[in-house]
């Protein structure tokens, strides 16, 4: 596929040459079975579904559709592994296996990056520089904790929960698998993981890594399928913990399904993050942060900075600079190293985003889109901003999960704060200012789990992540992430 030269580049008479990452070194099987009990096994009912490349609409592979019977097999394998090898193993030994997964991921990073971009549509720059290295970093980080859990919970004895059922979304497929599997294993649990139906391939490759790392059979089981498969995991009576990342609607269903059961749960749900720019901010850096916050990774980020609040005195300047920057964004081939904005993950997601573009205009907002060309095949959305919106507009209140930014202004800090907090969500936020005092004030009073100051969308395995309000329950990452996978008993 050709990369799309951007308009400014054309106007000034130059353009980047295409710089596509090679796919020669990547092997994708025609068909993937379920990874249960350390082997790849066909689904009981024999069903498979296709996963496509959203940038070309070409079929990449077929993947097994796990039914209740397959999920039951996976849970049984996980329980057997928990009772047998894994819970009896010395914690330092357990850590060695997790380190091994981390190292193999690093060795195969290039291959994983390309597959992530092929299957999900995200630019190779993101999968190469963010998703895959961070996934390895999570395994390294939690491997280190495996034999030090006593220090994580002083005065208490942490005990594994048992079998963890983990359901993940399509926006950071391998990274979300790492977020969930690494702490679960470090704490001595076994796992049944379900990747999203549009992006199962790096999870199946991870299954190969887990097998090659020599983990005892059944410690990690990976089953593919859509919502029904996810629900089978949630409703399985022998699962001790559910970890879910995805939409708030499904999060609610899960919460309802496990109410009154022994299952522990963590839910990472939607977001509508406020990015707040004060007049004293370094404006050029802030504009770059806005672009990074909402346009990179196509806005497929639960903590995306999808609401922008600009202090009134600099609003015209910020919006103009943002529009100029949007014109230079390159939308197109995810495998091209110059690409800034890749493909929308699926046809239904594109439909959802496009419906919001209509809603925004019907609500009276002014829409501006980058004039960049987009490829003819595949699912694409130009970077888009809405100005002239009000707090009650749906494009301000609801999660769009695409490269769409709603812009409002404020005069005083209090007004900015009130507007930023006027949302049912509370996952993340960003503050841009030259004044440390404002940073402290805002980070304490914006009701969100993560607040970035003079930067955006930065992640680290040592830092906890999670939401307030309708953005979820519990924390993942860091020391807090361990707490989600243990029961604490009095020190014996
Ligand atoms: P979704 O919440 O349906 O999918 C997330 C995962 O849950 C997938 O693995 C899916 O197969 C599974 N799932 C679906 N129904 C289930 C059920 N009843 N029980 C158990 N598991 C189930 O999200 P979807 O439909 O892919 O995207 C819809 C919207 O959700 C997006 O437009 C976006 O707004 C939001 N979303 C938020 C994410 C986040 O990171 N917070 C990630 C993905 C989507
Ligand atoms: Mg796909």
pLDDT one-digit tens code per residue, 38-89? 999 999 999 999 999 999 999 999 999 999 999 999 999 999 999 999 999 9
Evaluate whether 345 touches 199 at the Cβ level (below 8 Å).
Answer: yes
Question: Is the same domain home to 255 and 375?
Answer: no
In a domain, 10, yes or no: no
Q: How confident is the model at residue 301 (pLDDT cuts 50, 70, 90)?
A: very high
Neighbour count for residue 177 (Cβ, 10 Å)? 24
We report the CATH number of the domain holding residue 417 as 3.40.309.10
Atom of ligand 1 nearest to the CA of 472: 41
Q: How far is the CA of 129 from the centre of ligand 1 (A)?
A: 25
Judged against a pLDDT cut of 60, whether residue 2 lies above it is answered with no
Answer whether 253 contacts ligand 1 (Cβ < 6 A): yes
Give the Cα separation of 38 and 50 in Å (integer): 23
Answer whether 194 contacts ligand 1 (Cβ < 6 A): yes
Which whole number is the average pLDDT over 129-134? 98
Please name every residue paired with 351 in a beta bridge, in sequence order, or none if there are none: none
We report the CATH number of the domain holding residue 119 as 3.40.605.10
Q: How far is the CA of 170 from the centre of ligand 2 (A)?
A: 9
Question: Is the same domain home to 199 and 298?
Answer: no
Atom of ligand 1 nearest to the CA of 257: 19
Evaluate whether 59 touches 338 at the Cβ level (below 8 Å).
Answer: no
Answer whether 234 contacts ligand 1 (Cβ < 6 A): yes
| Candidate of 51, 64, 242, 250 to mutate for ligand 1, largest count of ligand atoms within 8 Å of Cβ | 250
Q: Would you give the distance in Å from CA 12 to the centre of its chain?
A: 37
In a domain, 3, yes or no: no
Question: Is the same domain home to 239 and 298?
Answer: no
Residue nearest to atom 12 of ligand 1 (CA): 227
Neighbour count for residue 27 (Cβ, 10 Å)? 9
Judged against a pLDDT cut of 70, whether residue 8 lies above it is answered with no
pLDDT on residue 16: 85
Evaluate whether 86 touches 190 at the Cβ level (below 8 Å).
Answer: yes
In a domain, 15, yes or no: no
Coil/strand/helix, residue 25: coil
Q: Mind telling me the catalytic residues?
A: 268, 302
pLDDT on residue 39: 98
Question: Is the same domain home to 224 and 302?
Answer: no
Report the share of the chain in percent with pLDDT over 70.
Answer: 97
Q: Which domain holds residue 242?
A: 31-269+471-490
Answer whether 245 contacts ligand 1 (Cβ < 6 A): yes
Angle at 128 between CA 126 and CA 131, to 5 degrees: 65
Answer whether 267 contacts ligand 1 (Cβ < 6 A): no
pTM: 0.96
Among 418, 396, 399, CA closest to 408: 396
Question: Is the same domain home to 265 and 282?
Answer: no
Question: Is the same domain home to 132 and 89?
Answer: yes
Question: Is the same domain home to 70 and 183?
Answer: yes
Residue nearest to atom 21 of ligand 1 (CA): 230
Q: Residue 422 corresponds to which tokens in the numbers above? A: 């006027």
What are the backbone dihedrals phi and psi of residue 487, each rounded to the nearest 5 degrees, phi first? -105, 135
Evaluate whether 139 touches 108 at the Cβ level (below 8 Å).
Answer: no
Question: Is the same domain home to 397 and 477?
Answer: no
Domains in the chain, number: 2
Which whole number is the average pLDDT over 242-268? 96
Give the Cα separation of 266 and 254 in Å (integer): 10
Q: Which ligand is nearest to the CA of 224?
A: 1
Straight-line distance from the first to the last Cα atom of the chain, in angstroms, rounded to the nearest whole number: 62
Give the Cα separation of 289 and 457 in Å (integer): 9
Laid out side by side, the sheet with 241-245 consists of 39-41, 34-36, 220-222, 190-194, 163-167, 241-245, 264-268, 472-473
Question: Is the same domain home to 222 and 286?
Answer: no
How would you label 211-245 residue by residue, b for 16+ Cβ within 10 Å and e otherwise?
eebebbbbbbbbbbbeeebbbbbbbbeebbbbbbb
Coil/strand/helix, residue 345: coil
Question: Is the same domain home to 48 and 62?
Answer: yes
Answer whether 231 contacts ligand 1 (Cβ < 6 A): yes
Q: How far is the CA of 318 from the centre of ligand 1 (A)?
A: 34
Give the Cα separation of 424 and 426 in Å (integer): 7
Q: Which ligand is nearest to the CA of 301?
A: 1
Neighbour count for residue 392 (Cβ, 10 Å)? 9
Coil/strand/helix, residue 202: helix
pLDDT on residue 13: 57
Question: Is the same domain home to 139 and 282?
Answer: no
Question: Is the same domain home to 368 and 445?
Answer: yes
Residue nearest to atom 15 of ligand 1 (CA): 227
Evaluate whether 428 touches 448 at the Cβ level (below 8 Å).
Answer: yes
């Amino acid at each position: 596929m050709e990369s799309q030269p951007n308009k400014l580049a054309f106007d000034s008479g130059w353009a980047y040459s295409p710089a596509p990452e090679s796919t020669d070194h990547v092997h994708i099987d025609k068909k993937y079975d379920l990874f249960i009990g350390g082997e790849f096994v066909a689904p009981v009912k024999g069903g498979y579904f296709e996963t496509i490349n959203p940038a070309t609409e070409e079929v990449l592979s077929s993947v097994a559709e796990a039914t209740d019977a397959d999920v039951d097999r996976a849970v049984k394998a996980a329980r057997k592994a928990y009772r047998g090898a894994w819970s009896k193993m010395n914690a330092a030994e357990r850590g060695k296996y997790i380190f091994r997964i981390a190292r193999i991921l690093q060795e195969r990073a290039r291959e994983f990056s390309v597959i992530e971009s092929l299957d999900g549509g995200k630019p190779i720059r993101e999968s190469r520089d963010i998703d895959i290295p961070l996934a390895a970093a999570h395994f390294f980080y939690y491997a280190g904790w495996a034999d030090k859990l006593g220090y994580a919970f002083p005065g208490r004895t942490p005990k594994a929960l048992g079998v963890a059922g983990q359901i993940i979304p399509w926006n950071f497929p391998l990274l979300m698998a790492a977020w969930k599997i690494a702490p679960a294993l470090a704490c001595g649990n076994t796992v049944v993981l379900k990747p999203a139906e549009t992006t199962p391939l790096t999870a199946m490759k991870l299954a190969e890594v887990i097998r090659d790392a020599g983990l005892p059979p059944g410690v990690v089981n990976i089953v593919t399928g859509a919502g029904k498969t996810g629900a089978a995991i949630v409703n399985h009576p022998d699962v001790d913990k559910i970890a879910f990342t995805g939409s708030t609607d499904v999060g609610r269903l899960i919460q309802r399904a496990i109410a009154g059961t022994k299952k522990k749960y963590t839910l990472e749900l939607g977001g509508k993050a406020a990015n707040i720019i004060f007049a004293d901010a370094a404006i050029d850096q802030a504009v770059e942060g806005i672009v990074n916050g909402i346009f990179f990774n196509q806005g497929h980020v639960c903590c995306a900075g999808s609401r922008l609040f600009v202090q009134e005195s600099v609003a015209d300047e910020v919006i103009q600079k943002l529009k100029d920057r949007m014109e230079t964004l390159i939308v197109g081939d995810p495998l091209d190293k110059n690409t800034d904005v890749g493909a929308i993950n699926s046809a239904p997601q594109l439909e959802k985003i496009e419906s919001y573009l209509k809603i925004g205009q019907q609500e009276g907002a002014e829409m501006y889109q980058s004039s960049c060309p987009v490829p003819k095949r595949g699912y694409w959305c130009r970077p888009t901003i809405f100005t002239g919106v009000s707090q009650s507009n749906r494009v301000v209140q609801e999660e769009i999960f695409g490269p769409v930014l709603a812009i409002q202004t404020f005069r005083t800090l209090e007004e900015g704060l009130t507007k930023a907090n006027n949302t049912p969500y509370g996952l993340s936020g960003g503050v841009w200012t030259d004044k440390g005092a404002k940073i402290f004030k805002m980070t304490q009073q914006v009701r969100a789990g993560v607040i970035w100051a003079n930067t955006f969308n930065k992640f680290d395995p040592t830092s906890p992540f999670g939401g307030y309000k309708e953005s979820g329950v519990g924390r993942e990452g860091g020391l807090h992430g361990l707490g989600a996978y243990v029961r604490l008993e009095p020190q014996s």
